[in-house]
Structure 1
Amino acid sequence: MSLPPAIAANPARSRGRLHPESNSGPRGPRDIFQRDRDRIIHSVAFRRLRHKTQVFVAPDGDHYRVRLTHSLEVAQIGRTMARALGLNEDLTEALCLAHDLGHPPFGHAGEDALSAAMSDAGGFDHNAHTVRIVTKLETPYPEFEGLNLSWEALEGLAKHNGPIAELTWAMRETNDEWDLELDSWPGLEAQVAAISDDIAYDAHDIDDGLRAGLLHLDELIEQPLIHSLWDAIGRRYPDLAVDKKQRALVRDLIGYLVGDVLDETERRVIDSGVISIDEVRQARRQLSGFSKEVEAQERLLKRFLYQRLYGLPELKPIRAEAERVVANLAAAYRADPGLLPASWRGGEDDVAQVRTIGDFVAGMTDRFAIARHGELIGPVTLPASRF
């Protein structure tokens, strides 16, 4: 790739951290973006991702992706593309690893329930909550709240999906403290992190769906994005067992999508004429993404996955139960904040208390939410492990 070097985030030119640090004590030979990444990896919120699920709600199987394994896979894809494009690998990796920190238990089902439960206090948004976690809720340092990440890391987490026109209360709270220029596009590292998330979702939800027997292979291979890849695998390995062909399909899909993004990103950067990271932010368009043809095919694939996987009748009772658990927990804590741990009680007013309850529930893992529901409200009925 031949992108202008000044397009990459440079740790020596970082806008720094909100709270100045003296760098006293043993820190090792790490620059600001490396330390951002390491702070995320060592955070409590990151460790909790191992017990937060996505499509397949816990405890349905040991071999399905959870938020932690998904984040690691996104980071692998993002780091690979950052290296190929000459971008900052450490910042890209940090953004990939942190992008799902704000998800509550039970994936999007939990988010929908929590947002409804907090509707009179501004609602809940997992992306804004990610930023809230790293700026407020993680408290490992004596001098300040949060992880005190660099401006570039916060910018990337806040707007990796593009400029933000309407701010939620949580995002406004952060932006009022430190302007993240939310009306502009982020640097290319954040854009690469976002498209890496899409690639990982597509490939790995296919893998999990096939493993669970919920996706039908004959329907999947009719998808334009899948068909040619499957045929090519058959030509390379005519006698390969179907289960191994499926695993080869996941690998080839990732490789194909990554190659397309690399080519398209280089084309867009050259066509736009941008030569610096500041010009990337002011380009008024996404510079890293799929080509038009692949974007259309990927959109069809996502539509197929929504119809044949995420919206399956078999998963609807599980989603309903997950929503019930989160809604009941939020209602119980609102009715009696004394049920909260002592450090989570109180607040300046009722809205502040509701938002604190939202913070507490959002931080729960699936299994902790199930346990607390059992203690406070009643048993939870979720599927037993199938694998």
Structure 2
Amino acid sequence: MTMLAPYACHPAASRGRLHAEPGGERRGPRDIFQRDRDRIIHSIAFRRLRHKTQVFVSPDGDHYRVRLTHSLEVAQIGRAIARTLGLNEDLTEALCLAHDIGHPPFGHAGEDALEAMLESHGGFDHNAHTLRTLMLLESPYPRFPGLNLSWEMLEGLAKHNGPVERPGWAMRELDGLFPLDLRSHASIEAQLAALADDIAYDNHDIDDGLRAGLLTLEQLLEVPLVRNCWDRVQARYPDVAHERLQRELVREQIGVMATDLIDETTRAIAASGVETVDDVRSLGHGLVAFSPELAAQERELKRFMYATLYHHPDQMAAADRARVIVTDLFRAYHDRPDLMPPEWRDDCRADEPGRSRHVADFIAGMTDRYAEKRHAEIFGEVALAD
């Protein structure tokens, strides 16, 4: 690891863990944030991401991204930028790896369905469910629930998109267990993890969309950011066929966005005068950002991706069928808890909102294929792709 900047998160200054652990904080050569990262990698919830939707529901092909490969790519981008900025690479990597653990099966379609089912019971939020999974639901240790991650790790996951002014029921419950200062900004590492996520999915979704034939290069070149990067790529490789240059286009865009973020964040840190991580949290605004020009171009790219890829008719039809699966499963398990595995059935409560939230916890942990299998066993097949 490079020398840490004074405003980075230093492991020796961590606020620690909720539960004291036998033998103290260190185990071998690893510090608290390195152990956080390793706990994420070894968790069941992380392994399940290999069968959870990123863009395409039940993708027909081995080369499309899923939540697991997306999280690895976010971690690579985040760690490289953290090194350049003098931030804690291990904490940044851990936040990037864990940021999508709370997503239910079928991505945002599954989340929409659970939100509807819990509308009268506090709703469902995948970010809060990430913390719920890591603090309560996955419990591999003998003396405490959850993975017992550091305060800085949990704070970063809670606030990586900024202060939480109106926490929902799940976040309030977790904050009551281990107060996370929800109204302040998070560390620079957490802010970076959020932007590394944007860089990854902005560009890798282009790669997958082109591969699937739902996007064309001609469409993409109508977006100024893409056109500028494409012109540079063509200038470097004038004699190479366009099909061979599409992945180079993605690499070029990642480089442009990462470099812009580094330059703008370096400027913002210098202008802010922050000297410690507590200064960062109390500053009143974020520090990790794109330049105003690139931020505008990135928003335009997102609008294009929603219009042409995420809301493509094929995608919308698959999402509709996914919502049917999640909704059907919720109603079935709510009415008949005996359909759940014993470890979930035995803990199912009779009162509300406990019963509905318990059922949602079970479904949110499912992979796409497990949800499809369970739905087929109870209701019969529902095709997710024509």
When the two structures are superposed, what TM-score results if normalisation uses the length of structure 2? Answer: 0.97
Report which structure shows greater RCO (CA 8 Å, sep ≥6). 1
Q: 1:377 aligned to 2:371?
A: no
Counterpart amino acid of residue 378 in structure 2:
L
Change (3 A) 1:232 1:217: same
Determine the structure 2 residue equivalent to 1:349. Answer: 351
Q: CA deviation at 1:380?
A: 1.5
Match of 2:126 in 1: 126
Residue deviations 1:89-114, cap 9 Å, x none? Answer: 00000000000000000000010001
What SS is found at the alignment partner of 1:114? helix
Using the TM superposition, give the Cα deviation of residue 243 of structure 1 relative to its aligned residue in structure 2, in angstroms: 2.0
1:59 and 1:268 map into 2 onto residues whose CA distance is 41
Corresponding residue number in structure 2 for 1:239: 239
Q: CA deviation at 1:383?
A: 2.0
Residue 37, structure 1, aligned to residue 37, structure 2: yes
Q: 1:26, CA displacement in angstroms?
A: 9.7
- Let me know the Cα RMSD of the aligned residues: 1.6
Equivalence for 1:230: 230
- Any stretches of 5+ residues in structure 1 without a counterpart? none
1:184-263 paired onto structure 2 within 5 Å: 184-263=184-263
* 8 A contact 2:4–2:87 mirrored in 1: no
CA displacement 1:168-216 (0-9 Å, x = unmatched): 1110110011110000100000000000000001010100001111112
Q: Does 1:287 align with 2:287?
A: yes
1:3 and 1:34 map into 2 onto residues whose CA distance is: 16
Q: 1:363 matched to which residue of 2?
A: 365
In the alignment, does 2:135 pair up with 1:116?
no
Identical-pair percentage:
60
In 2: Cα distance, 1:269 partner to 1:25 partner: 31
Counterparts in 2 of 1:33 and 1:24: CA distance versus 1, 3 Å: closer
**Structure 1 residue 378, shift from structure 2 partner:** 1.5
Structure 2 gap segments, 5+ residues each:
none
Count of residue pairs brought into register by the alignment: 383
Q: How does 1:10-89 map to 2 (within 5 A)?
A: 10-23=10-23, 27-89=27-89
Is the CA contact 2:54–2:107 (under 8 Å) kept in the aligned structure 1?
A: yes
Residue 270 of structure 1 aligns with an amino acid whose one-letter code is: A
Q: Give the Å deviation of 1:159.
A: 0.6
CA contact (8 A) 1:109 1:322 kept: yes
The one-letter code of the counterpart of 2:158 is A
- TM-score (ref. length: structure 1): 0.96
Q: CA deviation at 1:23?
A: 2.6
Amino acid at match of 1:352: G
Where 2:303 maps in the other structure, the secondary structure is helix
User: Which letter maps to 1:247?
Assistant: R
Cα distance, 1:211–1:119 mapped onto 2, change above 3 Å? same
Give the structure 2 partner of residue 99 of structure 1: 99
Instruction: Write the mapping of 1:241-320 to structure 2, written as runs, cut at 5 A.
Output: 241-320=241-320
